[in-house]
Amino acid sequence: MTSVSVNLKSPEDIEGMRVAGRLASELLDYLTPFVKPGVTTGEINDLAHAYMLDVQRTVPATLHYAPPGHSPYPASLCTSVNHVVCHGIPGDKKLKEGDIVNIDVTVIKDGYHGDTSRMFQIGRPSIQAKRLSEVTYEAMWRGIMTVRPGAHLGDIGATIQRFAESHGYSIVREFCGHGIGRQFHEEPQVLHYGRPGTGLKLQPGMIFTVEPMVNAGRPGIRCLADGWTIVTADHSLSAQWEHTVLVTDEGFEVLTVSAGAPPPPAIAA
């Protein structure tokens, strides 16, 4: 297996990442009351942009972000509605009763990136949509709970895949979690499927995201003409949750938490 160079974070880095992670989560707390029927995804973006600049004094990491082969991303967050898997560009689309939407934010504070996303249910979603969101949330947390020194990246992916597939859902394989720090995307890549005991061995000081994308139907995806928006190929619903996680000496610490962050699910032993 090819050796991967992972940047282990210093105590100063970790403190900076705690601040950035908390601010990212607090941004979602701020947006929550506005995510309701009739609001446009563009209005949510504008609220977030103003809050980042004027209140938090943070920088929106996604705005003008342009990885190789992509045009610059045109917004300060991603809004992925219903069958949009990820990277939905905010615009004039109004949220309506029964929609589900993932809002994905990344803020930069003092050079450090805080990256997190949540699912929002607009009004009363269908039983299927609610269940998909809940299963995806628990899958993320089950993956996070495998994190400890000496565990492997494959343990995270295998745990998430097993849980999601046991509920009849599928894992999107083209996108994964990633290392994060002063760079938006670093090594390692964190797959949301795999085999236990495989992949990189975890060490204290690693920081990465766990962000499974789970489809109600088949795992296939396609990219729209804008070059960013990813949708399910079969038009089935998709859900995603994301936290940024630190490997500690004893286990893990979730960095993207705040007063309004949803609590971990009650997972039966």
Span 242-255, pLDDT tens digits = 999 999 999 999 99
Q: Which residues contact 29 (CB under 8 A, 6 or more apart)?
A: 258, 259, 260, 261
Task: Give pLDDT, residue 96.
Answer: 97
CATH (residue range 11-254): 3.90.230.10
Tens of pLDDT, residues 68-84:
888 999 999 999 999 99
Check pLDDT > 70 for residue 3: no
pLDDT bucket at 36, cuts 50 / 70 / 90: very high
pLDDT bucket at 267, cuts 50 / 70 / 90: confident
Q: Which residue has the tokens 């269908």?
A: 126
CA dihedral 44, 49, 54, 58 (to 10 degrees): 130
- The mean per-residue pLDDT over the stretch 126-135 comes to 97
Task: Give pLDDT, residue 69.
Answer: 87
Distance CA 199, CA 176 (A): 14
Domain boundaries, the chain: 11-254
- Burial letters 96-127, b for 16+ CB under 10 A, else e: eeebbbbbbbbbbbeebbbbbbbbbbbeebee
Check pLDDT > 90 for residue 5: no
- Predicted model pTM: 0.96
Burial class (CB in 10 A: 0-12, 13-18, 19+), 19: middle
Distance CA 258, CA 222 (A): 34
Looking at residue 4, its amino acid is V
Ramachandran category for residue 268: left, alpha or beta (phi over 0 → left; psi -120 to 50 → alpha): beta
Greater model confidence, 68 or 112: 112
What percent of the chain clears pLDDT 70, i.e. is strictly above it? 98
- The mean per-residue pLDDT over the stretch 100-126 comes to 97
Check pLDDT > 60 for residue 90: yes
Check pLDDT > 90 for residue 269: no
Check pLDDT > 80 for residue 268: no
Give the strands of the sheet with 243-247, arranged side by side.
186-190, 177-179, 207-210, 243-247, 252-254
